[in-house]
Structure formats: C-alpha cells, structure tokens
C-alpha cells in the first residue's frame, strides 16, 4: 500500500511540475460528479466518479503550445484551450454487502488519475471542426483510496457497508492517450440554434484501448457561447466550456456513442498480477440526454446516461447521472 501511494505521488508530482503559474491566473473551474444516485440506477458497477477540471487559454510560449506544434495536424496557433484534470472513480459489483469474491460480477476497482487535455476548434462557414487530445496517468488499486472513501461515506450517511473491497484489483500504474474529432454543423430551427454532427475517436493505453464513433445534437439559445456536450467516463472530460459574462443562455442535448473495447483494465483485471476479472463485451453503446444552463460566469449541466452491458455476465444495462458545476475565475 505504501509503495503504491509513493508511486502515485511521484506520477502526479511529475505531471503538476509542468504547470506554469500563469495557467492559474484566469480560467474555468469545473466540478463533475457522476453517480448512479443521480438516475434510476442502483448502487452498482460505475457507482461514483468525481473530477476537478481547470480549463484555460494558454498564453504564448506555454508548454502546451510547443507540444501542439510537435503533433501531426496541430499547431501552436490552433490550440484554443487546455484543461488540467484530476479525479477519482469507483466500481463495484451489484451486491456490495457480500464479503466473499463475487466471480460472476465486475471487480471492485478504484481509479485515481490526473491528466491534461488539448482542445482545438476550427470555425468554418456554418460548421466547425472540434478536436481534443487527452493524456492521463494514475493508479488503479488500493492506492486510489476509493475503497476507504466509499466505506467512510456509507458509514457517514448510514448506507449499506461495502464489504468486498478486499477483493479489489491490485495496484497498477496506468497511462492512457485518447483522441476525439467532431464535425459540428450549425443551423437554426424554429427560432433556436441547432448544432449536430458525427464524431470519431480512439483510446490507447493499459487502462482503456478502444475505437469509438457517435452522433450528438444540441438545441437552444447562445450555442456560439458554449462548446461541447459533457462527457461521461470512459469518455474523457475537458471539452465542455462556455464564454463568460454573456448573460443567460441554455441548451438541451442528446447523443449516442458506440465503442469497440479492445481492452478495459477495470473488467479484464490486472496486467501483471492475478486478479478478479470478467468476460468483457467488445461492443458497448451509450445513449445520453441532458441540459445546461449558463448565467454570466456560471454553468450547471446535467446528463442522464444509459449504457449497454459491458460484460457477459451482466444481467441488465446500467444508467447513471452526471452533474457539472462550472465558474470562471
């Protein structure tokens, strides 16, 4: 346990050592909470996730602009935003009151991670091209602190004691790269603004390896002041933003996405050690709906998501919600 914590501190120390002081002078702070309690789902599977996101426009000479210049198809001038992300996620089987290993349900797993996202947005005549690149490092296992957090929280609010965390995945450092591109078409309908279009992407690493595609729709007022549909794990956050001090605006959204999952550490089990695992489904689909309200420097967004079975022994699809509160500093 101590070795895992030391590795975690070392990884995050390397990542945050590169943060320039100017990055914290002016930016958008978002707090995202994903939980099955925000939907009709039960306390199971992806049961809770918290993430803090600091998004900003990098100044000239910032290390992210130099990094973008080195990427194929990117440039220092095209980079419109950067987001630093830090979060924790927890995954459990359906019956958390069983202390013994439940072999036909997903493993207990905690994930602690930090990451950086690079964001591009190229505006054309009545459509825009949105790109995002995400790099994450972190740790899966007891060093993530997920088990201790869930036990303590359930004790605090007098919920069922989760007894099976001794069966969780072992400590394993993770590193992941993800990319997404969206083609967003812009029109007006019945006096409202509309954005819609397809997207495609991939993830590569020892946490997730997948290829994805999807289709999204936004409808509302002031869409030119906001960007993106909130992402829910395993999709990567950091894309959703808005312009400050522009009064009130709103939009509703809907999206569908499909992923071919070639690898999912949280279901496949540890890479180098024996651990609990289940038979992962290769094809997984999401459907989500939600709404966002923006007022000057604040935004509140809610997402309701349905997810198809992620492993063979799963008896029913999952559903959970996500709430994001954002404010400009």
| Nearest of 101, 174, 141 to residue 1 by alpha carbon | 141
Binned at pLDDT 50, 70 and 90, residue 242 comes out as confident
Task: Kindly state the percentage of the chain with pLDDT values over 90.
Answer: 68
Q: What is the pLDDT of residue 238?
A: 61
Cα–Cα dist 45/298, whole Å: 31
- Inter-residue contact 305 to 322 (CB < 8 Å): yes
Q: Which of 102-111, 218-227, 231-240 has the highest mean pLDDT?
A: 102-111
Q: What is the pLDDT of residue 224?
A: 78
Q: How far is CA 243 from CA 26, 223, 248, in A?
A: 13, 10, 11
Q: What is the pLDDT of residue 117?
A: 95
| Per-residue buried b or exposed e for 183-222, using 16+ beta carbons within 10 Å of the residue's own CB | ebebeeeeeebbbbbebebbbbbbbbbbebebebbbbbeb
Q: What is the pLDDT of residue 21?
A: 45
Q: What is the pLDDT of residue 18?
A: 46
Binned at pLDDT 50, 70 and 90, residue 93 comes out as very high
Q: What is the pLDDT of residue 3?
A: 46
Span 183-204, average pLDDT: 95
Query: For the chain, what is the radius of gyration of the CA atoms?
Result: 20
Is the full-model pTM beyond 0.85? Answer: yes
Higher-confidence residue of 107 and 228: namely 107
pLDDT tens-digit map of 109-167: 999 999 999 998 888 999 999 999 999 999 999 999 999 898 887 778 767 788 899 99
Largest Cα separation within the chain, whole Å, is 60
Domains, the chain, ranges and CATH?
Answer: 2-22+30-328 (2.40.128.140)
Q: Has residue 78 got a pLDDT over 80?
A: yes
pLDDT tens-digit map of 200-214: 999 999 999 999 999
- Inter-residue contact 289 to 322 (CB < 8 Å): no
**Residues paired with residue 216 on neighbouring β-strands, in sequence order:** 197, 255
Q: Has residue 1 got a pLDDT over 60?
A: no
Binned at pLDDT 50, 70 and 90, residue 26 comes out as confident
**Residues paired with residue 221 on neighbouring β-strands, in sequence order:** 250
């Amino acid at each position: 346990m101590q070795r895992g914590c030391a590795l975690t501190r070392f990884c995050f120390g390397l990542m945050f050592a590169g943060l320039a002081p100017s990055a914290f002078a002016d930016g958008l702070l978002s707090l995202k909470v994903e939980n099955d309690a925000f939907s009709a789902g039960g306390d199971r599977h992806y049961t809770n996730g918290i993430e803090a996101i600091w998004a900003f426009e990098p100044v000239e000479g910032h290390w992210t602009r130099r990094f973008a210049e080195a990427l194929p198809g990117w440039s220092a001038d095209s980079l419109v935003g950067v987001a630093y992300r830090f979060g924790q996620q927890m995954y459990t089987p359906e019956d958390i009151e069983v202390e013994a290993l439940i072999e036909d349900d997903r493993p207990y797993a905690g994930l602690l991670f930090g990451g950086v996202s690079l964001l591009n947005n190229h505006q054309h005549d009545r459509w825009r091209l949105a790109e995002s690149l995400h790099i994450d490092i972190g740790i899966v296992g007891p060093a993530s602190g997920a088990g201790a957090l869930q036990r303590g929280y359930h004790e605090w609010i007098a919920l069922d004691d989760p007894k099976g965390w001794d069966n969780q995945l072992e400590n394993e450092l993770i590193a992941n790269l993800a990319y997404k591109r969206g083609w967003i078409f812009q029109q007006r309908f019945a006096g409202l603004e509309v954005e819609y279009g397809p997207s495609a992407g991939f993830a590569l690493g020892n946490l997730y390896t997948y290829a994805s595609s999807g289709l999204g729709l936004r409808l509302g007022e002031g869409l030119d002041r906001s960007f993106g549909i909130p992402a829910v794990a395993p999709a990567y956050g950091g894309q959703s933003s808005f312009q400050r001090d522009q009064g009130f605006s709103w939009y509703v959204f809907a999206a569908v996405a499909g992923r071919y999952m070639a690898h999912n550490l949280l279901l496949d089990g540890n890479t180098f050690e024996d651990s609990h695992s289940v038979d992962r489904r290769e094809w997984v689909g999401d459907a989500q709906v939600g709404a966002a309200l923006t007022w000057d420097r604040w935004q509140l967004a809610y997402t309701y998501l349905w997810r198809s079975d992620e492993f063979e022994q799963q008896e029913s699809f999952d559903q959970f919600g996500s709430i994001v509160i954002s404010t400009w500093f």
